[in-house]
Amino acid sequence: MSGYRLPQSGLGVGQAIDRGKPLSFTFDGKRYQGFAGDTLASALLASGVDLFGRSFKYHRPRGLISAGVEEPNALVTLRSGARAEPNTRATVVELFDGLEAVSQNRWPSLGFDVMAVNGLAGPILSAGFYYKTFMGPTRKAWMFYEHFIRKAAGLGAGTTLADPDRYEEMNAFCDVLVVGAGAAGLMAALAAARSGARVILADEQAAPGGALRGDAVASDLLAELAALENVTLLPRTTVYGYYDDNTLGAVERVADHLAVPSEGQPRERHWTIRARRVVLATGAIERPIVFGDNDKPGVMLADAGRIYVQHYGVAPGEQVALFTNNDGAYRSVAALSAAGAKVTAIIDARRTIGAQAQAIAQASGAELLLGHAVTRALGGQRISGIAVAPFDPARGASDTARQIAADCLLVSGGWTPTLHLASQAGGAARWDDTLTAFLPGAPTQPWRAAGACNGALGTAAALAEGARAGTEAAESCGLAAPAVTLPKIADEPLADAPLPVWDARPPHGKGKAFVDLQHDVTASDVSLAHREGFRSVEHLKRYTTLGMATDQGKTSNVIGLALMARERQLSIPEVGTTRFRPPYTPVSLGALAGQARGGHFRPTRRTPMHDWHIANGAEMIEAGLWLRPRIYAQGSETVEQAYVREARQVRESVGMVDVSTLGKIDVQGPDAAEFLNRVYSNGFLKLPEGKARYGLMLREDGFLWDDGTTWRLSDTQFLMTTTTANAAPVLTQLEFLLAAVWPELKVAVTSVTEQWAGMAVSGPKSRAVLAAALSDIDVSNEALPFMGVRKGSLDGMPVLVARLSFSGELAYEVYCGAHHGEAVWTRLLAAGKPFGMIPYGVEALGTLRIEKGHVAGPELDGRTTAADLGLGGMVSSKKTFIGSSMLDREGLTDPRRLKLVGLVSADGGKIRAGAHLVAADDKGQPPKSLGHVTSTTYSPALEKYIALGLLEDGPQRIGEKLVATYPLKNIDVAVEVVSSHFFDPDGSRMHV
Amino acid sequence: MSDAISPLKGHAEPCTAGRGAPGVELAERALVSLVQVAAWPDTAEQVEGIVASLTGCAPPQGPSGSSGDAEGAILAIAPGRWLVESRDPRLAQRLAGQIGPDLGAVTDLSHARVAIRVSGPKATWVLAKGLALDLHPTAFPPLKVAQSAIHEVGVILRRVSPDNLGGESFDLYVYRGFALSFWDWLTEAAAETGYRVSRPGSA
């Protein structure tokens, strides 16, 4: 218990919180109080909580390191139940009343964690331990151990409940996108906006301002921007990824700061931003220094200490010490002193410091130890003191240490510019010796960097760079940007240029010294990687997993590189740096999915009679995006009982099925017949008006592609139908052929799938039904012969009637305008009532076509030829057409190709689609496959289970007994090979 | 034509959703005739003239332009290809009467699309949730036409000329079979700003 809320004492203490609005929340079930404006971290710190979680591998107690997105330690599970979200950083969670958070990776409790025993085994559990130990001797060993290892390591667990909240997408376009609303970003946005440019300014924090947050300069700039119509301000929005064509991904946390989003409000919104120019003003992140037990709760980054005081009015401890290598960190001392918090000691690795820093130290009353370093943090579950030793830049810290009491240690090792986006869209980062940091490399896309991320750490410099970048960005969009006046701001007397100090451990230092806190990677692990030959930065990263946690090594990467550079006796730029991948900070899957979830995962396509089907008990089935009636079950009928009844009724009397999903293409023009003749394998030139023809389309490689009937409506107009599945690909192919292959043909093709509702009326009574319903079409056999097409109307609604049969019965397809679909459907059913006409679904449709041996999707599987399916007669040898030149290939004419046959169950067993056909006496394991089953059904006409299949020497095997074997389910069915024309082979039923 | 049933029937009844003033107004427009006209490369100018004189609209200015209003409109959807809307139920026959096979092709799509008007101060905001198009008035001025997709549903989009609605106004032509799925998406996207559904045919 050492952090506490500071009393209100004027400006510069707790300016982000509203002490008049107390909020109540729980952490690990215990109730606490905070204020509006607090983060979960600041409110817990104010309540004296210092233990936030357990570490990834060693289960060490961990506290707060930072006050921002870089936080590697303070990861908690936020909310509960379906809204539980693991691994949220307490430092960026805005407090709301009733917030619930629980700590992670500990059992049974945060204070007493059984797995902390891993810490005792520390020397064994070094980098690569698990793989070295558990990977051998066999792959199985790893699979056995993995479960236990994963359980012991890791972070929070996600919920398996459905997320009750909404997420959505947004598309945005702008001239200039400014990422980061600190000094540089605000100024860049203003400079660009003054030119009239469309500007988007995105900032990850709730309140923009960055390091200037709360300062009058920031609020003035913000007020000016907010008043401009051409500026879009996006607070709580993290630009996480920089992609090709200057497209950036961002996530706006619309309602994450609320307990529950309000009605209609999305929790998060994903922005796809297409910007002409980008200004990266992403700031910089402070880095720590490595020493023994530097992960102990109470050790915190220096600037985070300042932020907790100034923004949230929270002192991080009662006896605060500072360890630094630069003047900038003295700002934190000044802030603590001004707020009345006690700073007991300042340990500075440098022998001399700036005058202003000296003055701050003196005024604070702290003991100032120059040329010293902190070599170890002391204490149990939290820091109680520090070991301090003389430090020499060349030789490092000495072993002779003295102890100083402290319950909080602020550490500053300098600043690391935030290069994530620059790295995603730029060349290799370049090293800056003054800042001992990497700066953005050369852009590969039109962005420019400004401010701290570009190395301009001072406020005045950042403002100036921002103004320049904004002006240049606007000008490169072709806009005239008027000059902007920079806000007056005092010169920063505290320089951030650090003495390069990475590792303050003395030669015989004790305690684990962490580099990557989130992944528990220590300085010794880096040395081990070097000893074992993993010396390139890429190998170092993968071997130790340094920088690979969800924080992407924001506080650890540069230190890791520095330590490897020391091992290799090279400079840091010689060792090089790894690149950053998106996302800059974690992105929720909900934000990426947006509205594409549940029923909206894909759009649904409905036929014009959809609502009627639902109202009349249809069970629907997906066919691509379409929903089609599968069966219309009566009472407690099973699927099989329903389709058998429906199919039987069609054969005995009459039924009607919705065929609106068939692809329909309007083919028009003086050359339409010629075009079709080149597209289909059979002839279309001589198809007379008012007639339909069944056509086959081949792929260019000669395999069968699609089939359907095409109706000649006039000399120059055809209505082509395709299979449901190939409607779009066929149209695309036709458009391609007309645009690129035969541009001289005057033909226009248009999808009219949605224009027409289609229904097939099938059965011996179908003619009687149509005769009763249609007054202006003579449907007699003479007037409307097989394959005839007639135009007419039904109660004033225009219809097209074609005498086609897929079922093998006397049958007609009736097409009408889609909006009339339901009306025509119900009128035909009414006309069919005296004949017992029923609607039937796609199951019965399949049964009827299988009984007739008509091929469909399962047979047109892209591997079959027309000849394989017994349709060789439809492949013309008198003309060329798409696919014709490849027909005579060896593979396509091989007599051993599988051929279509019919199969009848010999033992009454149900034949499974996908079963393999094997010889009855084949005892092989596995037996030799002679072919396979494609389509299967129970046949009410034959009163047996039947199937279509593709079989070696198919037609020659008619009469043979085979076995249809389905080893996955251990099902063998004895089958007899028959002709695929099971029922009415001479077609007498449809020619009546 | 009481037998003509919209796929939105029963799904897009007048209602108001959300608190406060609705950010958008949604309405299914009455679509009487929608006809596609395609010209051959050498007849485009002639066909455009015929379409313009038949509908009484000016020829649309350039590709992705349009002219006219709900009484009669011409949308240029591709070089030598137009979508023509009219309140005349015999539009397709009249166009076909003047544009024979030697000039081009006339295809009736009156049943193939559903027309939805999205208007109001938040119309652009709501549509941008699904449209990867820059809808800023400088980039997408009144009468401009685009073919795109919203949530994998193909749409033709037209910014309507400024009117008295006091906000943005767009006409969308959506494939009939996808209309309800699209409507569900639209109302979900509009939930944030609140919306009002007006009586079909009122826009």
- A165 and B CB contact within 8 Å: no
A-chain CB neighbours of B108 within 8 Å are 755
CB pairs under 8 A between A and B: 144
Q: Which of B130, B127, B116 is CA-nearest to residue B173?
A: B116
- The percentage of residues in chain A with a pLDDT greater than 90, rounded to a whole number, is 88
User: Could B5 and A822 be called an inter-chain contact, meaning their C-beta atoms sit closer than 8 Å?
Assistant: yes
Please give the mean pLDDT across all residues of chain A. 94
Tell me the residue ranges of DSSP E strands in A807-851: 811-817, 838-839
- A597 and B CB contact within 8 Å: no
The CA distance from A680 to B49, in Å, is 36
Question: In the structure, what pLDDT confidence band is assigned to residue A152 with cuts at 50, 70 and 90?
Answer: low
Mutation pick from B176, B183, B187, B195 vs chain A, by most beta carbons of A within 10 Å, is B176
DSSP label at residue A41: H
**Statement: residue A381 has pLDDT above 50:** yes
Q: Are A24 and A337 in contact (CB under 8 A)?
A: no
The residue that leads in pLDDT, B154 or A153, is B154
**Tokens 């897009």 sit at which residue?**
B12
Q: Which of residues 170-229 of A touch B (CB under 8 A)?
A: 170-173, 198
Query: What was the pLDDT predicted at B166?
Result: 56
Q: Which of A549, A559, A584 is CA-nearest to residue A180?
A: A584
Q: Are A110 and A51 in contact (CB under 8 A)?
A: yes
Contacts of residues A878-882 at CB distance under 8 Å and 24 or more positions apart, as own/partner, are: A878/A683, A879/A677, A879/A678, A879/A683, A880/A678, A881/A677, A881/A678, A881/A679, A881/A680, A881/A681, A881/A698, A882/A678, A882/A679, A882/A697, A882/A698, A882/A699, A882/A700, A882/A737
User: Could B111 and A669 be called an inter-chain contact, meaning their C-beta atoms sit closer than 8 Å?
Assistant: no
φ, ψ dihedrals at A501, nearest 5°: -130, 115
Secondary structure class of A218 (helix, strand, coil): helix
Give the nearest chain A residue to B81 (CA atoms). A748
Q: Are A502 and A575 in contact (CB under 8 A)?
A: no
The CA distance from A289 to A291, in Å, is 7
DSSP for A726-758 reads THHHHHHHHHHIIIII-TTS--EEEE-TTTEEE
The two tokens of residue A565 are: 């550079």
A-chain CB neighbours of B92 within 8 Å are none
User: Could B194 and A169 be called an inter-chain contact, meaning their C-beta atoms sit closer than 8 Å?
Assistant: no
Which residues on adjacent β-strands are paired with residue A719? A666, A711
The two tokens of residue A937 are: 């059904």
B-chain CB neighbours of A599 within 8 Å are 184
- The percentage of residues in chain A with a pLDDT greater than 70, rounded to a whole number, is 96
> What would the pLDDT profile of A68-96 be if each residue is shown by its tens digit?
999 999 999 999 999 999 999 999 999 99
H or E segment and range at residue A563 = helix A557-568
Which residues on adjacent β-strands are paired with residue A685? none
Which residues on adjacent β-strands are paired with residue A490? none
Query: What was the pLDDT predicted at A1?
Result: 47
Query: What was the pLDDT predicted at B3?
Result: 86
**Tokens 């026959």 sit at which residue?**
B93
Q: What is the mean pLDDT of residues A23-37?
A: 97
**Tokens 């008990």 sit at which residue?**
A617
> What would the pLDDT profile of A423-460 be if each residue is shown by its tens digit?
999 999 999 999 999 999 999 999 999 999 999 999 99
User: Could B177 and A753 be called an inter-chain contact, meaning their C-beta atoms sit closer than 8 Å?
Assistant: yes
- A754 and B CB contact within 8 Å: yes
> What would the pLDDT profile of A806-834 be if each residue is shown by its tens digit?
999 999 999 999 999 999 999 999 999 99
User: Could A605 and B178 be called an inter-chain contact, meaning their C-beta atoms sit closer than 8 Å?
Assistant: yes
**Tokens 């795109």 sit at which residue?**
B148
H or E segment and range at residue A167 = strand A167-179
H or E segment and range at residue A386 = strand A383-392
Query: What was the pLDDT predicted at A557?
Result: 94
> What would the pLDDT profile of A103-120 be if each residue is shown by its tens digit?
987 766 777 776 676 666
Inter-helix orientation angle B91-98/B44-55, to 10°: 140
φ, ψ dihedrals at A983, nearest 5°: -125, 135
Residue type at A110 in one-letter notation: L
Q: Which of residues 807-866 of A touch B (CB under 8 A)?
A: 817-823
Q: What's the CA angle centered on A346, arms A340 and A348, to 5 degrees?
A: 145
DSSP for B105-118 reads EEEE-TTTEEEEEE
**Tokens 């992705």 sit at which residue?**
B64
Q: Which of A461, A699, A450, A416 is CA-nearest to residue A561?
A: A416
In angstroms, the separation between the Cα of residue A783 and the nearest Cα of chain B is 26
User: Could B128 and A170 be called an inter-chain contact, meaning their C-beta atoms sit closer than 8 Å?
Assistant: yes
Question: In the structure, what pLDDT confidence band is assigned to residue A665 with cuts at 50, 70 and 90?
Answer: very high
Query: What was the pLDDT predicted at A949?
Result: 98
The residue that leads in pLDDT, B191 or B63, is B191
Q: What is the pTM of this model?
A: 0.93
φ, ψ dihedrals at A122, nearest 5°: -40, -50
> What would the pLDDT profile of B69-102 be if each residue is shown by its tens digit?
878 899 999 999 999 999 999 999 999 999 999 9
Three-state SS string over A482-550 comes to CCCCCCCCCCCCCCCCCCCCCECCCCCCCCCCEEECCCCEEHHHHHHHHHCCCCCHHHHHHHHCCCCCC
The CA distance from A789 to A684, in Å, is 15
B-chain CB neighbours of A272 within 8 Å are 132
DSSP label at residue B94: H
Q: Are A328 and A494 in contact (CB under 8 A)?
A: yes
The two tokens of residue A625 are: 């995006």
> What would the pLDDT profile of A919-941 be if each residue is shown by its tens digit?
999 988 899 999 999 999 999 99
Buried b (16+ CB within 10 A) or exposed e, A132-147: eeeeeeeeeeeeeeee
Closest partner residue to B192 (CB to CB) among A266, A666, A668 is A266
Residue type at A756 in one-letter notation: W
User: Could A264 and B192 be called an inter-chain contact, meaning their C-beta atoms sit closer than 8 Å?
Assistant: yes
Q: What is the mean pLDDT of residues A704-716?
A: 97
What's the count of helices (H) and strands (E) in chain A, helices before strands?
Answer: 24, 50
Q: Which of A869, A870, A867, A963 is CA-nearest to residue A915?
A: A963
Which residues on adjacent β-strands are paired with residue A622? A627
Query: What was the pLDDT predicted at B1?
Result: 45
**Statement: residue B164 has pLDDT above 60:** no
The CA distance from A497 to A387, in Å, is 25
Residue A174 CB partners (closer than 8 Å, separation 6+):
A197, A198, A199, A200, A232, A273, A274, A275, A276
Give the nearest chain A residue to B43 (CA atoms). A746
> What would the pLDDT profile of A200-240 be if each residue is shown by its tens digit?
999 999 989 998 988 899 999 999 999 999 999 999 999 99
ipTM score: 0.96
User: Could A603 and B151 be called an inter-chain contact, meaning their C-beta atoms sit closer than 8 Å?
Assistant: yes
> What would the pLDDT profile of A236-259 be if each residue is shown by its tens digit?
999 999 999 999 999 999 999 999
- State how beta strands A372-379 and A367-370 pair: unpaired
User: Could B111 and A611 be called an inter-chain contact, meaning their C-beta atoms sit closer than 8 Å?
Assistant: no
- State how beta strands A61-62 and A53-54 pair: antiparallel
